[in-house]
A and B are shown apart, each in its own frame.
Chain A
């Protein structure tokens, strides 16, 4: 199979550089340009969603309503969730995949470059549409990012239709992106790059892409059903017409749980690239990492109802979903053990990417522990829909997914720009973020256990102190991201020259290319040992 490939890949002529002017960005089919677009877009959305988070935390700084009214507060929590999930985390991973996957597998570009352009350029329109709902009569979506019916159908503001279209557009973009990544990985690998030689980032993305194709259509399906209920008189979720609001939750979480893994598997990949580099030691248990990732992906289809323990399932259902959920701890544990074993007897240094990766391992594992506690159905009756859940998923998403993206950005920035970023600024950014994240989210465990429900704009007095602490942390974390933005921009504009290998312990095809990487790479497939 690979021999036929080597003849076809090398034949295209890629002598020219990027086009001039703005047109370069609108019409580009270059994977590096599109990767850059995705990453900038995701950064913009991260800051937007972050401002909403700060608005939420500012309101919750003290009991009482100070800054916003409850209806606007609900729009903020909803939008914050949607923007962070679909606008910040997912596009950032797609951006990293666009940049790195072709370089890692020795391909000249993505397999479907024109579709690549399209799948990016849908996003700005989707999110403009979604953000514009905030200015419509009745306000934007206010039913939480999980948009449970009937709050999101019969009782929704009129703008819900635009929200549905925006979700459709994001879904199309994600599916096209996933198809492109699968095609690149399966069809464009350089000769000799066998599946079990693929870097782990590529492997995790391959599995993520399959998850995307499996569940984004289900999300599209569920919003389509909502659309039909709202405008065409069907009764999928309307009890009066023989529908069932609980059905919504089943379909939503059938999408929603794999979606959670879509946001964490590529993070596993990034961390599995970074830790070996800075431990100067090969990744421990490569094969078991691949198997663990695959089994997490498969299990993710069998655990959705653990989000619905309080909905009133029969005993057998509760038990099945409890056991299946607990089982996920096994492959996840394997991954953590492998990372630790990689560090064990390595020769470690602690540059910014490594700091982010190490804190990923620790804080993600803490999120995993609270996840295990949440899996215990009888105890979940006390945790469900409280701040304990908020603490849990922020621990896996912020110091999990987001930290891994930042680690990846610092790790590959020298390769992309040809300049080293400012290391002390990077470390300052790390430590401020690390401290900020923990001050923000650790007290939320206590708040939840003490009885504070999530998604409330005002709370009883016994929750006041931890809320004030959490809000303080949120502002530390939020403001320290300005350092990140500054560091990226100054790294693009100049700085110490980066070598081709960049890091002393780096291995892999992408590090054999010059820094900064030329506009076209691997026009001739590389030779894999």
Chain B
């Protein structure tokens, strides 16, 4: 093997490695994007969840929190917030609920996906518990009130007066007989 071949081989190796690295980087963008969203509040993703230390509410500020329920695609459930808006003081823990009813004649499973706007507010909305943490199953014609417990951080920027929290309900009922339901099991035939 002469010097040129060696040189070529080393270069190819480096470049192929670079290519593979970039292929990996493409996939690494997925978690990187989540981190990026958490920092910037991009897309209104809520990442603050779980128990929170109780603190005194800031009664000098009233934040209007708006709730929206959206059905995705062919999702036939009735789905709406019990109240359209509530007024909340920052630091105050508040309970809310969404109403859901399965009008069909079969058992269905749903997953609610939350989103917040303005996206700058997302990182200050803390969800202690939420029906969106789990999948929700309803038997035929069953109704349910699905609870949500949240706190707005006192550090919420002063120019934000209204926060809108939307839930989109996705039908994730397995097409085949219900065995184990995982989020990843969604089956959807194209058109």
Interface residues of A (CB under 8 A from B): 4-5, 8-9, 111-112, 138, 154-158, 160, 175, 178-179, 182-183, 186-188, 213-222, 224-225, 230, 233-236, 238-242, 244, 246-247, 250-251, 254-255, 312-317
Q: Which residue of A lies closest to B168 (CB)?
A: A239
Q: Which stretch (B25-33, B57-65, B95-103) binds chain A?
A: B25-33
Instruction: For B23, give its contact among A178, A218, A233, A236 (CB under 8 Å).
Output: A218
* Residues in A neighbouring B190, C-beta threshold 8 A: 138, 154-158, 160, 230
B12 near A112: Cβ-Cβ < 8 Å: yes
Q: Which residue of B lies closest to A159 (CB)?
A: B190
Known: A218-B23, A222-B26. A179 touches B15 (CB 8 A): yes
B183 near A235: Cβ-Cβ < 8 Å: yes
Instruction: For B43, give its contact among A214, A218, A221, A246 (CB under 8 Å).
Output: A246
* Residues in A neighbouring B168, C-beta threshold 8 A: 239
Known: A157-B190, A213-B15, A246-B43. A221 touches B184 (CB 8 A): no
A244 near B33: Cβ-Cβ < 8 Å: yes
Known: A8-B3, A216-B19, A222-B26. A239 touches B113 (CB 8 A): yes
B19 near A213: Cβ-Cβ < 8 Å: yes
Q: Which residue of B lies closest to A320 (CB)?
A: B40
B178 at the interface (CB under 8 A from A): no
B155 at the interface (CB under 8 A from A): no
Known: A239-B170, A240-B111, A313-B42. A217 touches B23 (CB 8 A): yes
Known: A5-B4, A175-B19, A187-B8. A241 touches B186 (CB 8 A): yes
B19 near A251: Cβ-Cβ < 8 Å: no
B54 at the interface (CB under 8 A from A): no
Instruction: For A314, give its contact among B2, B7, B120 (CB under 8 Å).
Output: B120
Instruction: For B11, give its contact among A158, A186, A214, A247 (CB under 8 Å).
Output: A186
* Residues in A neighbouring B8, C-beta threshold 8 A: 111-112, 183, 187
State how many angstroms separate the Cβ of A327 from the closest Cβ of chain B: 21
**How many angstroms from the CA of A313 to the CA of B172 in the assembled complex?**
29
B119 at the interface (CB under 8 A from A): yes
B50 at the interface (CB under 8 A from A): no
**How many angstroms from the CA of A187 to the CA of B190 in the assembled complex?**
49
| B residues 113-155 in Cβ contact with A at 8 Å | 113, 117, 119-120
B184 near A236: Cβ-Cβ < 8 Å: no
Interface residue SS majority, chain A: helix
Q: Which residue of B lies closest to A220 (CB)?
A: B23
Q: Which residue of A lies closest to B16 (CB)?
A: A179
* Residues in B neighbouring A8, C-beta threshold 8 A: 2-4
A233 near B191: Cβ-Cβ < 8 Å: no
**How many angstroms from the CA of A234 to the CA of B2 in the assembled complex?**
48
**How many angstroms from the CA of A304 to the CA of B185 in the assembled complex?**
32
**How many angstroms from the CA of A292 to the CA of B82 in the assembled complex?**
59
If A233-B185, A233-B187 are given as contacts, then 15 extra A-B residue pairs at C-beta distance below 8 Å, sorted by A number, are A8-B3, A8-B4, A112-B8, A138-B190, A183-B8, A188-B4, A213-B22, A217-B25, A225-B26, A240-B170, A244-B33, A244-B43, A246-B42, A251-B33, A314-B41
Interface residue SS majority, chain B: helix
Q: Which residue of B lies closest to A7 (CB)?
A: B3
Q: List 17 A-B contacts (CB under 8 A).
A: A112-B12, A138-B190, A154-B188, A179-B19, A217-B21, A217-B22, A221-B24, A225-B26, A225-B27, A240-B113, A240-B171, A242-B113, A254-B26, A312-B43, A312-B119, A314-B119, A317-B42
* Residues in A neighbouring B171, C-beta threshold 8 A: 240
* Residues in A neighbouring B45, C-beta threshold 8 A: 244
B186 near A233: Cβ-Cβ < 8 Å: yes
Q: Which one of B19, B111, B117 has the greatest number of beta carbons of chain A within 10 Å?
A: B19
* Residues in B neighbouring A235, C-beta threshold 8 A: 183-184, 186
* Residues in A neighbouring B21, C-beta threshold 8 A: 217
Among all A-B residue pairs, the 9 with the closest Cβ atoms = A221-B26, A240-B170, A217-B23, A217-B22, A218-B26, A8-B4, A179-B15, A241-B183, A217-B19
B191 near A157: Cβ-Cβ < 8 Å: yes
B20 at the interface (CB under 8 A from A): yes
Q: Which residue of B lies closest to A209 (CB)?
A: B15
* Residues in B neighbouring A160, C-beta threshold 8 A: 190
Chain B positions 74 through 92: 1 when the CB is less than 8 Å from some CB of chain A, otherwise 0: 0000000000000000000
State how many angstroms separate the Cβ of B71 from the closest Cβ of chain A: 12
State how many angstroms separate the Cβ of A182 from the closest Cβ of chain B: 6
State how many angstroms separate the Cβ of B191 from the closest Cβ of chain A: 6
State how many angstroms separate the Cβ of A57 from the closest Cβ of chain B: 28
**How many angstroms from the CA of A141 to the CA of B29 in the assembled complex?**
25
**How many angstroms from the CA of A230 to the CA of B42 in the assembled complex?**
26
Q: Which residue of B lies closest to A178 (CB)?
A: B15
**How many angstroms from the CA of A162 to the CA of B187 in the assembled complex?**
20
A251 near B26: Cβ-Cβ < 8 Å: yes
State how many angstroms separate the Cβ of A431 from the closest Cβ of chain B: 43
Known: A240-B172, A246-B43. A221 touches B19 (CB 8 A): no
**How many angstroms from the CA of A254 to the CA of B3 in the assembled complex?**
37
Instruction: For B25, give its contact among A111, A178, A218 (CB under 8 Å).
Output: A218
Q: Which residue of B lies closest to A1 (CB)?
A: B7
State how many angstroms separate the Cβ of B66 from the closest Cβ of chain A: 17
B49 at the interface (CB under 8 A from A): no
Instruction: For B22, give its contact among A218, A241, A313, A314 (CB under 8 Å).
Output: A218
B18 at the interface (CB under 8 A from A): yes
